[in-house]
Copies of this chain bind each other. A is one copy, B any other.
Amino acid sequence: MHETSRHTILAIDDHPLFRKGVADLIDMDDTLEMVGEAANGQDGLELAKSLQPDLILLDINMKGMSGIDTLKAMKQEDIDSLILMLTVSDNEEDVLTALRIGADGYLLKDMEPEDILGSIRKAMEGTVVISDHLTQLLAKALRDEDKLVEDKSPTPLTSREQEILEHISNGMSNKLIAKTLSISEGTVKVHVKHLLKKLNLHSRTEAAVWALRRL
């Protein structure tokens, strides 16, 4: 172990209290050092670039720029810090997406502090760390290959389709959406039809659930 320099860590989370908890946790380990905090993805990205920390703790559920988006941006900017995603939810899609983009681990916030510390140390050693009960999820996802194949080539929704999906996830009817967007109801139906096909869903209710589940 290098006594001269501790491993540097940057925490990105929009809950001050949670950041404080993490900071205290990291203080407890002599080999780790918290070098920065950010309350949102934008600031986090900037800090990541300027501080070049060894490891970044990145919350998934943030207002504005999501953790996933932030992760994408970091990868595009060739930030070579280790990145551990922190989240409250074990949403399978998020886990797969994050790991696919290149996250180095995926931790649930309800882990015990000791386990979180342990995971950080493991990650420093190059291990991809994943919360225990998420590994089961992953194993399951790997078993039915469909999920991976599907997600590998996800026909992306057009912006109009996304817009309409959002309205659906708000409980709106085609007629209302049509009025809101000032287009014909028939056109809305076409978009709904396409978006259902692309997402491999079979009803607007499924679509609403799908959309709401991934925030």
Contact = CB atoms under 8 A, between A and B. Distances in A.
A112 interface: yes
Contacts of A141: none
A203 B206 CA distance: 13
A113 to B, nearest CB: 6
Contacts of A17: 18, 21-22, 25, 109, 113, 116
Contacts of A15: 18, 88, 109-110
A68 to B, nearest CB: 17
A113 B171 contact: no
A53 to B, nearest CB: 19
B209 A171 contact: yes
A163 to B, nearest CB: 16
A212 interface: yes
Contacts of A172: 205
A70 interface: no
Contacts of A110: 14-16, 39, 63
Question: What 3 A-B pairs have minimum CB-CB distances, sorted nearest first?
Answer: A171-B206, A21-B21, A17-B21
8 contacts: A14-B110, A15-B110, A17-B18, A17-B113, A20-B21, A20-B25, A21-B21, A173-B202
Contact of A16 (B111, B204, B205, B213): B111
A205 B192 CA distance: 14
Nearest to A213: B212
Contacts of A48: none
Interface in A3-52: 14-18, 20-22, 24-25, 39
A130 interface: no
A129 interface: no
Contact of A208 (B25, B63, B205): B205
Nearest to A201: B171
A178 to B, nearest CB: 15
A166 B17 CA distance: 33
A16 B112 contact: yes
